[in-house]
Structure 1
Amino acid sequence: MYVQHCVCVLFWLCVCAVVTLLSGELSSDGTVPTVPSGENRAERDPPSPPEVRCWSPSYPFKALCSWPEPPQTQLPIQYIATYSMKGGEIQQCHPYPTSVHPLPSPESSLPGVNGSSPWARWLCVLKGLKLYTSYKLNITGVNRMGSASHLQAFTVEDIVKPDPPVNVTVQVVPGKLSLLVKWAPPPSWSDRTLFPLKYQIRYHWDNKGTPHEITLDPFEDTKKVLPRLSPGRSYLVQVCSMELMGLGQSSDWSLPVTVTMPAH
């Protein structure tokens, strides 16, 4: 308890130090110099709490946390990220802007990356997570006017979200009005023996028809035949993956593949 208290004190001392460094020289009375009245409000405000989203594409070994850079930010923001389990050592995560640093694996998805700013989104990798263990996450944004934090409690089981399947192919079955769909599991899912995946197919026609969905048996091969299709019709096919026991949520859908059935 004493050690954890000391670590918490050091964390906030670190925040204060960052604020001081970003603020420049202190006034003679020890306060931060007053911002000139000509500066706009964005230059006088502390940062807003980061809007953080966490998910685990490689359960249970690690998780990713991401948040956008606040729009119209004029003051530089430094981020401090830590996580810990109850009674455990506080571990530090090192955030980086995804525009200048590769993702942990080329298959990892990062939903919601929009905007023209090269610093549009930050990413932090949480490693060494344990099964069915509650963690506390603290991500603090700091600029020279102050700080704001996002606090979150989670277990890795709550935030499971695989990446989409890869190498999706769709072929017409010769002599039949059927399609053969094949794919590979997401490479970022590290252990498919102990933690198998199941899949779901979504297909529809002309992007306007009613979607027809088929859920695969998770113990079957990564392929499925879609039978009794209509001649001359174009079908758009997508595949998603999910943890076998239904932990967390399913992946995003794979990129669509469009195939047109023969007219006869």
Structure 2
Amino acid sequence: MARPPGPLLLLLLFLLLLLLLTAAVAPGRPCGPAGLSRDTVLGRPGANVTLTCRDEGLANVTVSWQMEERGAGGGPSRRLAEGNALLLRRLRYEDSGRYGCYVGGRLLRSLRLLVEEPPETPRVSCYRRSPDKDVLCEWPLRVKPSPGTRAMLWVKRRFTAENATEQRCRYFSKARKFVCRVKVPPGADTESLVVSTCVNNGAGGSAGEDRIITLSSVLKPDPPINVTVQALEKAPQRLRVNWSYPSSWDPRFYWLRFQVRYRPEPAQTFTEVDQVMTPWLDIRDALRGTRHVVQVRAQEEFGHGAWSEWSQEVVGTPWTDPWDLTSEMGPFSSQFPMDDDGTYGVTLPPELFWEDAADGAGGAVVKASARSVASPYAFLVAGGSLLLGIALFVAIMVRYRQTWRTGGQRGAKPEGEGQHVLVPLGPPSPPLSDTPLLSPPSPPDPGGLHVTNLDYFFSGQ
């Protein structure tokens, strides 16, 4: 039976593993100040510095100072103060250059002044615009670096003993940041990479923290472009949003998914729509007649990496019915029905009434036109009600007229007449009276109003 390893052996194995991990993560590149020659004097911006010609003063000799070159561009010499020591106050980057002390035109000593301050510690972030592009690592700066500042980047595979590749970084003055282009090693699409940075100059050096990245984790597309918002005809609550893939992403081989957010003005809260796979979207809950602010962003279709930045804001307003003139009605406008088909919308300008108003003949017209006119549908309802009322009145008048006529005929009959009793139909019998009680029936008139037999109901029986 095998014995378990002792504590000493376990400790040695742990130390060996820790050493291997440290060697695999750290590229092992030093990051210190750039080497300075012995005749170089370093000064900080805003500080004072003294340049000395000789360690021991020269007696009875006039020492003069001249600046032989200014910065990297060089320039003509110019005479400065006299004396064994030269004091320069409140240094600037422009004071960098070579200074010489002369005695009788003979150069005794030449010193190089370098005005720099230690660089800022880089805080690196890496991203990749598409799967077929290189990785870019960058970091911003608070102040402009000195002219002698250099930035380097090292990349190597994690957990391997291969040497790191060194690449130079470039400073962009407008964006005020360093940018480094990382060349991806062949076959490293699924492996982890260790990225190290270093910034140094004559005043010192500063190393950033190592970043462990994968190519899928740093994927970050550019924002969508050509974002537009259009209104859809006869859809007062819909908006059509269209956009295009960014130029850095090739949709023939890789796709993006999108997220759209929108808000009505002046609200500050956005409504977001996720999982949009097409370069367009229909918004179906827009507010009628209200401007909406819309933005779009993109991500790799399977969710690898980060979302892009939001696109620039675009605005759009849903479709509005052109016949809805409620908001357009104002003073001196009237609307009249023109045809029987229900077409309206004639507006009379006020200039038609000014001339009549000047001679006093049209004052009432101007006053009436200044009032808002009711809707044409109100006139239709009022007219229908009036016609119905007239029809009822005519029917009542016809009924009472017949009643009055029947009453007049009863008053003209001789006494004793009219006391007849209706009997059922039977064999013919002698007539009870020469004057018939009921009028002879007339042929029915389809659609007519029969009121001739109403005298029976008003006979008082």
Structure 1 unaligned runs (5+)? 100-117
Change in 2 beyond 3 A, CA 1:26/1:181: same
Partner of 1:98: 172
**TM-superposition CA deviations, 1:132-163 (whole Å, max 9, x none):** 21111111101102211112221122222111
Q: Which has the higher helix share?
A: 2
Alpha-carbon shift at residue 98 of structure 1 (Å): 2.9
Partner of 1:166: 225
Change in 2 beyond 3 A, CA 1:52/1:200: same
Q: Secondary structure at the match of 1:210?
A: coil
CA contact (8 A) 1:56 1:160 kept: yes
Q: Matches of 1:78 and 1:226 in 2, distance apart? A: 51
2:200 maps to amino acid? V
Q: Matches of 2:198 and 2:282 in 1, distance apart? A: 49
Q: Matches of 1:67 and 1:229 in 2, distance apart? A: 41
Q: Which of residues 120, 145, 149 is equivalent to 2:203?
A: 145
Alpha-carbon shift at residue 45 of structure 1 (Å): 4.8
1:203 maps to amino acid? Y
Q: Which range is displaced more, 128-137 or 170-179?
A: 128-137
CA contact (8 A) 2:43 2:91 kept: no
Change in 2 beyond 3 A, CA 1:70/1:212: closer
Q: Matches of 1:184 and 1:74 in 2, distance apart? A: 41
Partner of 2:193: 135
Partner of 1:179: 239
Alpha-carbon shift at residue 60 of structure 1 (Å): 5.5
Q: Matches of 1:211 and 1:169 in 2, distance apart? A: 17
Q: Which range is displaced more, 40-49 or 181-190?
A: 40-49
**TM-superposition CA deviations, 1:163-193 (whole Å, max 9, x none):** 1111111111112121111111122124x45
Residue 47 in structure 1 maps to residue 119 in structure 2: yes
Change in 2 beyond 3 A, CA 1:209/1:148: closer
Q: Which range is displaced more, 208-217 or 167-176?
A: 208-217
2:195 maps to amino acid? L
Alpha-carbon shift at residue 34 of structure 1 (Å): 6.1
Q: Which has the higher strand share?
A: 1
Question: Which structure is larger by alpha-carbon Rg, 1 or 2?
Answer: 2
CA contact (8 A) 1:60 1:156 kept: no
Q: Which of residues 134, 138, 141 is equivalent to 1:69?
A: 141
Structure 2 unaligned runs (5+)? 1-19, 50-89, 93-114, 322-461
Q: Matches of 2:228 and 2:215 in 1, distance apart? A: 32
Q: TM-score, normalised by structure 1?
A: 0.74
Q: Matches of 2:153 and 2:281 in 1, distance apart? A: 43
**TM-superposition CA deviations, 1:12-51 (whole Å, max 9, x none):** 4xx66x702xx3x226xxxx75658726799675323212
CA contact (8 A) 1:63 1:125 kept: yes
Residue 240 in structure 1 maps to residue 297 in structure 2: yes
CA contact (8 A) 1:47 1:141 kept: yes
**How large is the RMSD of aligned CA atoms in angstroms?**
3.1
Q: Which of residues 268, 272, 278 is equivalent to 1:213?
A: 272
1:81 maps to amino acid? L
Partner of 1:108: none
Q: Secondary structure at the match of 1:156?
A: coil
Q: Matches of 2:296 and 2:175 in 1, distance apart? A: 31
Change in 2 beyond 3 A, CA 1:78/1:241: same
Q: Give identity over the alignment, percent.
A: 22
Residue 19 in structure 1 maps to residue 34 in structure 2: yes
Q: Matches of 1:98 and 1:73 in 2, distance apart? A: 11
Q: Secondary structure at the match of 1:58?
A: coil
Q: Matches of 2:48 and 2:144 in 1, distance apart? A: 17
Q: Matches of 1:207 and 1:56 in 2, distance apart? A: 36
Query: What does residue range 29-40 of structure 1 map to in structure 2 within 5 Å?
Result: 33=41, 35=43, 38=48
Q: Secondary structure at the match of 2:216?
A: helix
Partner of 1:109: none
Q: Matches of 2:247 and 2:258 in 1, distance apart? A: 15
1:183 maps to amino acid? W
Q: Matches of 1:59 and 1:229 in 2, distance apart? A: 36
Q: Secondary structure at the match of 1:157?
A: coil
Q: TM-score, normalised by structure 2?
A: 0.44
Q: Secondary structure at the match of 1:122?
A: strand
